Structure 1
Amino acid sequence: MKKIDRKQLANALADNVTKQNESYISDFYYAVQISICLLKPIGAWPLGDNDTSRLKVALHKLSMTIVTFLLIFTIVPWIVQIIKEKWSVFLILREMCGILFTTSIFARYILLLWHQDRLKSCIDRVVDDWRCAIIVEDRDIMLMNAKVGRTFGIVSVTFMFSCGALFYTLPMVLPNAINEDNVTVRLHPSPCEFFVFDSKASPAYEIVYFLQLLSGYTAYSAFCGICSLMAHFVTHVCGQCDMLAAIFEETVDGGKHNDGSIENRIATAVTRHLRLLRLVSDVSNLFTEICLVEFINASCNICLLGYYIITDLNNNESFIQIFMYVFGLASIIFNVFMFCYIGDLLKERCQKVGTTCYTIEWYRMPPKKAIELIMPIVMSRYPATLTAGKMMTMTLTTFSDIIKTSMAYFNLLREFSSRDAMRT
């Protein structure tokens, strides 16, 4: 078997020298365009092999430093204000959604930076897949799956940035608050309590507002960029599963996807299968912690946003504010649905490879050759999945569990709120 693998790999290397998809660069950019546009400015897109100059490396590190500062600039004042003003439980709940959302984005951003080497390895493998897509049908399959990933990215950007635009323009639309001394207090999008200066006086007010706008743009770019990146990787793997199924189907009689002698056809199927399994493993390990953070964030924020909507409706709050909460709720539900849907899609396509692998007409092959397909058949019986912290699989069943958990927390919050209102 090792001899066959070496021979097949040598043939594949020779083919790659003379045959490749001439438009693979533009195809790859089409697939990851949204992720590049969102992640590269914030330093989360890894540098290429040619980007080794000191200036590019310095700018890359400077981008990561600025983004880290902006996200901390939003999180820390929130915590300072909670401690300084000794907020009650219900006041903390009113602000918990924003601080939890920003903290979860910061955690995902740090995790993506932590796995930069693995991310770069996955990107290189995806580029190689586009380069080797020399059959028209294979390229069409990859472009179709890339379009699905782009669609998820576009919808995520539309939801998140629209909600963010409402959030950061709300202080300009709503009337300013008046404190106990009958002094008008200008509002910021998020709390901005500082010990060294007064953020409500000009020009500190304008500077802090501008920094919060930059922080919001950074947070939404990181959020949507990571979602789009994961959608691209998973849909790309789904396309590779379809192509691998075609290779297994042609193992017996050969075809344009898998030709040559019986030894070469078996070696091609086995090596392509192992290569796909390595890619799936790297993608799953790259996003497992990120999926766990998204699971926690979605479970809590769906509950909190539902609580805000009901409370504000009862208190006759501004329609714009209520609409912002509804839009944010729809955005979070869509994004967690996307995580679960593409996880379910990955599981389904991997199961399809397994079904194809052990339903081919292997009995028409020489017995000594057919036995070499036992290992791929056994491995295909355990389809790859996306997991949240390697504790739960991201499927549509998990999505329904998240909604049920959030509704349970929501009912608990509503009960506590109604009891507190009766006491007062």
Structure 2
Amino acid sequence: MAKLNISWSNVNSERDIIKALMWNRWILRILGIWPLVYSNTTTIEKILATILFALCWSALSFLLIPLIIFTLSERTTIYEKIKLLGPLSYVIIATLKYFFLVIHRKNIRQCINMLSTDWRAVHQQNYRKIMNKNVTKSHMLSKFCIMFMYCGGLSFHTVMPFLTHTTIDEQNVTVKPIPYPGFDIIFDLHFTPAYVFVFCAQWFSGIVLFNVTTAVCCLAAMFVAHACGQIEIVMARVENLVKNVQNSRMKEHMAIIVKHHMQSLSKIGFASYKIEWYHLPGKTALDLTLINSISQHPIKITAGKIINLSFSSFCSVLKTSIAYLNMLRTLV
């Protein structure tokens, strides 16, 4: 990137980076993934992360294996199998999310390094304000996701089992409620210590499930908010380009805009089109067509390169979920 003589530098860049990574740092630490995606960690943090990593996989396996056995066993009816599809699919998807977080640790680390580089490279106070504004938005989304997941999840794992109707087994013994059924295949839940162990283990496993889902959402919120901040900065630079037509360092300004635009990988074309580009020198105005051309083919966020993550696809998933719930209600 071209260098400019600047009079202001972001002396608080390290503090800003820590602030931007705050929620993701804590959540990924709980999952034992933080040292895998962030290189600046101590030996003690790596040891604790290894222990937490093993505990998280054990918790997910503790839920997944009995649920699969119970669902596939002959003792369960078709109604019970359909009823178990919801919890089983949620546990499987959360396990896959955790697996892909580990598999794509290098990509996450690269994104975090790019985020840190952008914070260290900011050279104007108003650009820092733009980035801090978007960090605040990402923190709000992260807080909402954490509150939503923990309020709903803890209610399901702690309150809902005791609100359901009590059942009596074939030996005329009352079955104690647990969040996830099927564990009586392995454990004797009539034995109080075994029941307490299973209930607490399921509760701990639920915490891992919440953190996995929350980690994915918080990472997405942080990176999307940061990308939005970079887009706003590029748009501000494009608008300032017209104001500095007579500046002798215009070519260097233009080089910075093009480089920053390529790093941001998005739709800036509207900003470059609506400015008074006709006041620019001919060759400089012609360079803006490159920005417009790239903006005609924006990068799309996909889920495994299968479906585009957009508002329309979200509505389609929501309609499918409602149809599935209606089918379950009909069967019940």
Fold shared by both chains (TM-score > 0.5): yes
SS at match of 2:9: coil
Name the counterpart of 2:172. 182
Asked if the contact 2:8/2:124 (under 8 Å) is kept, the reply is no
Number of aligned positions between the proteins:
329
Paired residue for 1:272, among 252, 260, 264?
260
Name the counterpart of 1:356. 271
Paired residue for 2:128, among 120, 139, 147?
139
Paired residue for 1:235, among 212, 216, 225?
225
Paired residue for 1:94, among 80, 83, 96?
83
Name the counterpart of 1:80. 69
1:378-410 per-residue CA deviation (whole Å, 9 max, x = no partner) reads 101223332233333222222222222333344
The one-letter code matched in structure 2 to 1:274 is M
Structure 2 vs 1, CA of residues 254 and 392 (structure 1 numbering), >3 Å: closer, same or farther?
Answer: farther
Alignment RMSD? 2.6
Q: CA deviation at 1:253?
A: 3.5
What TM-score, normalized by structure 2, do the two folds share? 0.88
The one-letter code matched in structure 1 to 2:132 is L
Q: Does 1:392 align with 2:280?
A: no
Paired residue for 2:113, among 114, 124, 129?
124
Q: CA deviation at 1:173?
A: 5.4
Asked if the contact 2:31/2:52 (under 8 Å) is kept, the reply is yes
Asked if the contact 1:74/1:192 (under 8 Å) is kept, the reply is no
Identity %: 27
Structure 2 vs 1, CA of residues 395 and 84 (structure 1 numbering), >3 Å: closer, same or farther?
Answer: closer
Structure 2 vs 1, CA of residues 134 and 262 (structure 1 numbering), >3 Å: closer, same or farther?
Answer: closer
Q: CA deviation at 1:271?
A: 0.9
Asked if the contact 1:19/1:132 (under 8 Å) is kept, the reply is no
Name the counterpart of 2:319. 404
User: 5 Å matches for 1:292-371?
Assistant: 350-351=266-267, 353-371=268-286
1:90-134 per-residue CA deviation (whole Å, 9 max, x = no partner) reads 211222211111111111111111111110111111122222334
Structure 2 vs 1, CA of residues 390 and 357 (structure 1 numbering), >3 Å: closer, same or farther?
Answer: farther
Q: CA deviation at 1:33?
A: 2.0
Q: Does 1:38 align with 2:27?
A: yes
1:205-264 per-residue CA deviation (whole Å, 9 max, x = no partner) reads 222222211111111011112111111110111111111101112223439xxx761210
Q: Does 1:63 align with 2:52?
A: yes
| CA–CA distance in structure 2, aligned partners of residues 76 and 25 of structure 1 | 44
Structure 2 vs 1, CA of residues 365 and 23 (structure 1 numbering), >3 Å: closer, same or farther?
Answer: same
The one-letter code matched in structure 1 to 2:312 is T
Which has the higher mean CA deviation after the structures are superposed, 109-118 or 194-203? 194-203
1:266-305 per-residue CA deviation (whole Å, 9 max, x = no partner) reads 111111111212xxxxxxxxxxxxxxxxxxxxxxxxxxxx
Name the counterpart of 2:238. 248
SS at match of 2:241: coil
Asked if the contact 1:354/1:377 (under 8 Å) is kept, the reply is yes
SS at match of 1:252: helix
Q: CA deviation at 1:374?
A: 3.1
Asked if the contact 2:135/2:222 (under 8 Å) is kept, the reply is yes
Asked if the contact 2:37/2:108 (under 8 Å) is kept, the reply is no
Name the counterpart of 2:249. 261
| CA–CA distance in structure 2, aligned partners of residues 192 and 64 of structure 1 | 26
Name the counterpart of 1:376. 291
SS at match of 1:250: helix
The one-letter code matched in structure 2 to 1:365 is L
Asked if the contact 1:27/1:130 (under 8 Å) is kept, the reply is yes
Tell me, which stretches of 5 or more residues in structure 1 are unaligned? 278-349, 419-424
Name the counterpart of 1:210. 200
Paired residue for 2:152, among 163, 176, 197?
163
Q: CA deviation at 1:27?
A: 2.6
Asked if the contact 2:23/2:218 (under 8 Å) is kept, the reply is yes
| CA–CA distance in structure 2, aligned partners of residues 276 and 35 of structure 1 | 21
The one-letter code matched in structure 1 to 2:254 is I
Q: CA deviation at 1:56?
A: 3.9
Name the counterpart of 1:296. none
Asked if the contact 1:247/1:269 (under 8 Å) is kept, the reply is yes
Asked if the contact 1:152/1:228 (under 8 Å) is kept, the reply is yes
Structure 2 vs 1, CA of residues 19 and 194 (structure 1 numbering), >3 Å: closer, same or farther?
Answer: farther
Which has the higher mean CA deviation after the structures are superposed, 202-211 or 19-28? 19-28
| CA–CA distance in structure 2, aligned partners of residues 112 and 67 of structure 1 | 13
The one-letter code matched in structure 2 to 1:220 is F
The one-letter code matched in structure 2 to 1:368 is K
The one-letter code matched in structure 2 to 1:272 is H
Asked if the contact 1:251/1:269 (under 8 Å) is kept, the reply is no
| CA–CA distance in structure 1, aligned partners of residues 327 and 193 of structure 2 | 43
